[in-house]
Amino acid sequence: QEPTAESSRRSLSPHASSLPGRPPRAPGSRPPQSRSRETIGASVGGLCAPANETKDPSVGGSSAVSAEEAFRHAEELCVRGQFGDAVPLLEHALQALRQEEGTAGANKQCLFEAQADVWAQLGVAHQSLGHLNEALASYGRATVLNPALHACFANLGALHMHLCNFDLASRHIEQALSLSPGSKDYLAIKQ
């Protein structure tokens, strides 16, 4: 089953890998099932203190690009399967959000959730590019910042399963199931 925009950034299905020996493919760029695109957009740019804008010629030319703009553009690129082009935008969004942490009045919890969403999307991009270590690290950072991101636990489980780290895979799938009980996708990965 090939990932589509509709199945993107949810948990991996057990049939997501099309070739033996290849890592499971991450879904594209849609938010995890527990959060809507609007909620993620709010955490990346809307609910937090105003997004930090920086001039970065590698991201969108010489114009100022906010964390939210970089994240939205990266999501669009992931939907189109342009994961390599999305990575620098996601890294830019993380940098802008980190800079925002130091500003007076910044809502730290909201910034952590926004960073978690960007790390989750970065995990999807890296996994789709076959960069397994980077995907594992990105999903891990996302779950530390927001332990409610069950899709990231499921993706960690699927990747560890692929790498034959069965005990670790089982722990991640159990965590995903504890957050999203009865998920057919997560139960399928567990088997």
Q: Taking Cα atoms as reference points, which of 85, 42, 31 lies closest to residue 67?
A: 42
Whole-model pTM? 0.73
List of E strands, the chain? 53-55, 64-66
Q: List CB contacts of 44: < 8 A, sequence separation 6 or more.
A: 51, 67, 68, 71, 93, 97, 114, 117, 118
Joined together, the tokens standing for residue 149 give 């991101």
From residue 84, give the alpha-carbon distance in Å to each of 88, 89, 99, 137, 170. 8, 10, 24, 17, 30
Give residue-wise pLDDT tens across range 37-88: 433 444 555 434 443 444 443 444 433 579 999 999 999 999 999 999 999 9
Give residue-wise pLDDT tens across range 17-42: 322 344 565 443 333 332 334 334 44
**How large is the angle between the packed helices 108-128 and 150-162, nearest 10 degrees?**
30
Please classify residue 78 by burial: count the beta carbons closer than 10 Å to its beta carbon, then call 0-12 exposed, 13-18 middle and 19+ buried. Answer: buried
Q: Which of 60-69, 95-104, 146-155 has the lowest mean pLDDT?
A: 60-69
Instruction: Determine contact, residues 185/174, Cβ cutoff 8 Å.
Output: no
Please classify residue 182 by burial: count the beta carbons closer than 10 Å to its beta carbon, then call 0-12 exposed, 13-18 middle and 19+ buried. Answer: exposed
Query: Rounded distance, CA 126 to CA 152, Å?
Result: 13
Query: Rounded distance, CA 36 to CA 25, Å?
Result: 21
